[in-house]
Structure 1
Amino acid sequence: MNAVKRGLALILKKPDFRNLMSAQLLAQAGDGIVQTALAKFIVFGGQEGFDLEGARDPQELLRIALYLFVPYTILSPFLGVVIDRWDRRRLLWLANGLRAVVILLIGLVTIDRLPDFVVFLAFLLTLTSTRIVLATKAAAIPATVGETDLVDANAVSQLGGALFQLGGAGVAFVAAEYVEPDPIAIAGALVYGIGAIFALKIRHAGEARAKLTFGQELGRVVGNIADGLREVGRTPKAGAAITTYFWLRLLWSFSIVSIGFVARELLGNEEMTILVITGGAGAIGAVLGFVLAPRLVERVKTTGTLVLGASLVAGAAIMVFGAIEMNVALAIMTFWLGFGFFLAKITLDSMVQEALGDDFRGRAFSLYDIAYNLAWVIAAGGLKVFYSPDIQGLLIAAMGAVFLVGVAGIAAWYRNAGLLSAVAPRSVR
């Protein structure tokens, strides 16, 4: 409960952090509402919507991953420069406000009267805008809470975001039983709009920026991308954190989809039971990671030690339980995967925020986005090549073993870079 109290204290005592969280959480709640409303109109590979974790076979997973992630991977480095060089308040306002207008117009026109490609583009707009909001939020958190409360702030952001998106989707799912999708989409647009208003209430989201127009900043974008890559490259803490995130995300992407394949084979069409195993158990593990993260940071010698420990927990669970095709084994595996991934992710965000100055954080978190995209595409490609129902359990366990070998290499990098000897930051009470 101490973690919850500290998170609430940050929200109550730090107005800029409160407004930043409001902009983020409402963006993700709006996503849950709007994407649920649009999903039934997007039929892809036999399923409604673009749910990577709900993909029913490797070929479908790869197609979805390529459609979703290749375009944003191309744009991401440019957006990272914009986050660093432009007013972050205005960027958050624009990301939420633009899609609020677009989704509102779509809802007023009525979704079923629009061409499929328009609905698809609207769906991609919601995804891309949220990625911009999340990267901007991550870059702005240190300016809103200071350097001493980063772990608590990141924990609030990540758990709150997951809960608000799930809550928005749940509300939309229930509402869809009683009303048409159009008013649901309009409600989501209004939620986006309120998030945009909160973004404008943030007083300080980073250092003062040069008085350049958006067009002028775009003209300098290539040089700024190169500067960002060089800065991350010569800052071992940032480079190691982003690499670790990629490796963890690869484990998550490969494992959670594979667990879904096994669960569907065991349970057939019992979708609610499958959701409990693949989503519920992981969510409980993630909440435990949120509760324990601030306390564990105080007990370890370095944040790097905590990241490696959390990674070992996630990888060991996949390796040990991966080959056991039983419901309880799947639930245990998903629980520890959620716990290890979430605990490590909170700490990794803090490492990047501590390692880099305010003028480079946007580009660093755009590299996070690229790592996220590549992990999903590589996981989907690997499953497309190697997956077979006859060896699916062994394949999951093998992924856990490969992941642990990679963690050993990352640990050597941490040790050589001095990330296991520096004192971990302590939160100020």
Structure 2
Amino acid sequence: MSVDRLATSWQRRSVVGVQQAAPIARPTERPTVRHLLHRGDFLRLLLTRLSSQFGDGVFQAALAGTVLFNPQQAAQPIDVAAGFAVLLLPYSLVAPFAGVWLDRWSRRQVLMVANMVRALLVAGVAALILAGVQGTAFYAAGLAVFSVNRFVLSALSAGLPHTTDEASLVSANALSTTAGAVAGVVGGASSIVATELLSRGTSGYAALALAAAVPYLVAAGIVSGFDRGHLGPDHLTRAARVTARDVLSGMVAGVQHTVQHAPAAAALVVMSVHRFFYGLLTLMTLLLYRNSFEPFGPFFPAGLTGLGEVLAAGAVGTLLAASITPWVVRRMGKPRWITLMLAAGGVGQLALGAPFVPPTIVAAGFALGFVAQSIKICVDTTLQETVDDDFRGRVFSVYDTLFNVTFVVALLAGALLLPTSGVSYPMLVVVGVGYLLTALAFARWNAAQERRSPGSSHTTHLRPAKNASD
């Protein structure tokens, strides 16, 4: 059955203006994957995400092969951290400003145009790889692609509540973000397999980078099937110009709106701390597979292929988290599940990371994938439930900024503290204990919230869209 036929049961007005809020599920309805996939608009947005993030995986694997696993280049910790900083930080510093546009422009238009722009940009990066260009020009081109990538992900998250009902929001996040993450891993794995079969030289990596343009164009075609205002924001503007003052005031308003909603602010703090520890573990793993590990038996290779194995294990953990988290959240609530996952992250990384051998690192990747996705599902849902739609683009852009900045700060800290081999027991202890302390702090905060508002940890109602007269 086509997406268009599935969509006929639930339509919006195609004109720019006030959009109707998503229909609210009856209390007796139980959110299921089948329920979600029978909504044409949710399925269309999901397919947009899958195609887009598959392309991300292909492109990022090509970039990793070119930079991190090129035998002609050194892979010192500071070099790896600097590369990530150049690619991620510049956009992260302007992302809150970009969020103002997500709350002013049609998110459908943003997703369509951004994916077409990415297709052009990766073609340029492919040309640079083929020409052997390194340094400033290469990183600037990579930065452009990564910047648009993050903009797309923010738009996807901000638009999701327009394609589902309140009762299904946790399940919708679990399905969409997990499927997107897995699509990215599949794209990266496909690239790694292609390099094994074809060539690891510059021509092979250039071809892979160029191939990423195809899923980006497919994503643009899929999202074009939405009406212009379907994904919000609820109050679209026809203004052709957005002044610098508008952008600055909008960014400040988004931050203030987040701070005024304690669950949203706490969720962002938890995710920021988690991403810091995640960044330390990422750098450690890259260095281990680049500089220390040798093949461990027939099933645990080293190098880029071994790193791909860790990513695949993380994807399995991500899938498991997606299948379990909605069920658990319905029974214990999001805050308690986040607390449990933070504690599990600390214990799991200490126990599995300490041997510093490929089999246990793969297992640690699985555990971290499960923990990370469980936390992300809860954080995404909390923001979507507690933030007004008119602020959602800005809040998710602030979220994206924290997501990237804390990751890069962790890489820079790790670059100063980690040896080139990647083996560091003190750093592993810092990560494990840090997760446990964060779990304790968040549990105490949640207990205080429950005393003030009994039952608040289990349900937070989706904030309705404002009426045109408001």
Gapped regions of structure 2 (runs ≥ 5): 1-30, 296-300, 462-470
Matches within 5 A, 1:84-123: 84-104=103-123, 112-113=130-131, 116=134, 118-123=137-142
Q: What is the CA–CA distance in structure 1 between the aligned matches of 2:302 and 2:45, rounded to whole Å?
A: 39
Per the alignment, residue 309 of structure 1 pairs with 340
Per the alignment, residue 128 of structure 1 pairs with 147
More helix by share: 1
Q: Secondary structure at the match of 1:220?
A: helix
User: Which residue type is aligned with residue 267 of structure 1?
Assistant: E
> For 1:182-232, what per-residue CA distance to the aligned partner results, in whole angstroms no more than 9, with x for missing partners?
665554323212211222222311243343335226551000111111100
Q: What is the CA–CA distance in structure 1 between the aligned matches of 2:120 and 2:278, rounded to whole Å?
A: 34
Q: What is the CA–CA distance in structure 2 between the aligned matches of 1:390 and 1:83, rounded to whole Å?
A: 40
Aligned counterpart for 2:42 among listed residues 14, 17, 42 = 17
Q: What is the CA–CA distance in structure 2 between the aligned matches of 1:339 and 1:175, rounded to whole Å?
A: 27
User: Which residue type is aligned with residue 221 of structure 2?
Assistant: I
Q: What is the CA–CA distance in structure 2 between the aligned matches of 1:105 and 1:321, rounded to whole Å?
A: 41
Structure 1 residues 30 and 217, CA gap change in structure 2 (3 angstroms): farther
Q: What is the CA–CA distance in structure 2 between the aligned matches of 1:329 and 1:115, rounded to whole Å?
A: 37
Structure 1 residues 124 and 365, CA gap change in structure 2 (3 angstroms): same
Greater alpha carbon shift after TM alignment, 379-388 vs 171-180: 171-180
Q: Secondary structure at the match of 1:250?
A: helix
Per the alignment, residue 53 of structure 2 pairs with 28
Aligned counterpart for 2:235 among listed residues 169, 184, 209 = 209
- Cα contact 2:345–2:371 (8 A) shared by 1: yes
- Cα contact 2:342–2:438 (8 A) shared by 1: no
Q: What is the CA–CA distance in structure 2 between the aligned matches of 1:276 and 1:102, rounded to whole Å?
A: 25
Matched, 1:199 2:218: no
- Cα contact 1:86–1:209 (8 A) shared by 2: no
Q: What is the CA–CA distance in structure 1 between the aligned matches of 2:248 and 2:403, rounded to whole Å?
A: 22
Cα deviation for residue 112 of structure 1 reads 2.7
Matched, 1:69 2:95: no
Per the alignment, residue 246 of structure 2 pairs with 220
> For 1:145-175, what per-residue CA distance to the aligned partner results, in whole angstroms no more than 9, with x for missing partners?
1222111111122222122223333444444
Matched, 1:188 2:219: no
- Cα contact 2:335–2:457 (8 A) shared by 1: no
- Cα contact 2:87–2:139 (8 A) shared by 1: no
Per the alignment, residue 20 of structure 2 pairs with none
Greater alpha carbon shift after TM alignment, 285-294 vs 326-335: 326-335
Per the alignment, residue 246 of structure 1 pairs with 272
- Cα contact 2:270–2:438 (8 A) shared by 1: no
Cα deviation for residue 35 of structure 1 reads 4.1
Structure 1 residues 306 and 157, CA gap change in structure 2 (3 angstroms): same
- Cα contact 2:347–2:432 (8 A) shared by 1: yes
Q: What is the CA–CA distance in structure 2 between the aligned matches of 1:60 and 1:349, rounded to whole Å?
A: 32
Cα deviation for residue 142 of structure 1 reads 0.8
Per the alignment, residue 279 of structure 1 pairs with 311
Structure 1 residues 382 and 221, CA gap change in structure 2 (3 angstroms): same
> For 1:53-89, what per-residue CA distance to the aligned partner results, in whole angstroms no more than 9, with x for missing partners?
xx95421232123212220122111111111121111
Matched, 1:372 2:403: yes
Sequence identity (%): 26
- Cα contact 1:241–1:351 (8 A) shared by 2: yes
Structure 1 residues 384 and 114, CA gap change in structure 2 (3 angstroms): closer
- Cα contact 1:148–1:425 (8 A) shared by 2: no
Cα deviation for residue 243 of structure 1 reads 0.7
Q: What is the CA–CA distance in structure 2 between the aligned matches of 1:185 and 1:61, rounded to whole Å?
A: 20
Q: Secondary structure at the match of 2:212?
A: helix
**TM-score, normalization by structure 1:** 0.85
> For 1:291-344, what per-residue CA distance to the aligned partner results, in whole angstroms no more than 9, with x for missing partners?
1111111221x2111111111111221234443334444333332222111111
Cα deviation for residue 399 of structure 1 reads 1.7
Gapped regions of structure 1 (runs ≥ 5): 50-54
Per the alignment, residue 294 of structure 2 pairs with 267
- Cα contact 1:325–1:393 (8 A) shared by 2: no
Q: What is the CA–CA distance in structure 2 between the aligned matches of 1:249 and 1:57, rounded to whole Å?
A: 22
Per the alignment, residue 366 of structure 2 pairs with 335
> For 1:269-305, what per-residue CA distance to the aligned partner results, in whole angstroms no more than 9, with x for missing partners?
72377336632332222221111111111221x2111
Matched, 1:398 2:398: no
Q: What is the CA–CA distance in structure 2 between the aligned matches of 1:106 and 1:337, rounded to whole Å?
A: 31
Cα deviation for residue 113 of structure 1 reads 4.6
Aligned counterpart for 2:391 among listed residues 335, 352, 360 = 360
Q: What is the CA–CA distance in structure 2 between the aligned matches of 1:276 and 1:172, rounded to whole Å?
A: 10
RMSD, aligned CA: 3.1
Structure 1 residues 159 and 213, CA gap change in structure 2 (3 angstroms): same
User: Which residue type is aligned with residue 32 of structure 1?
Assistant: G
Q: What is the CA–CA distance in structure 1 between the aligned matches of 2:43 and 2:241, rounded to whole Å?
A: 31
Tell me the number of residue pairs that the alignment of Structure 1 and Structure 2 aligns: 414
- Cα contact 1:150–1:350 (8 A) shared by 2: yes
Structure 1 residues 319 and 223, CA gap change in structure 2 (3 angstroms): same
Matches within 5 A, 1:144-159: 144-159=163-178
- Cα contact 1:236–1:417 (8 A) shared by 2: no
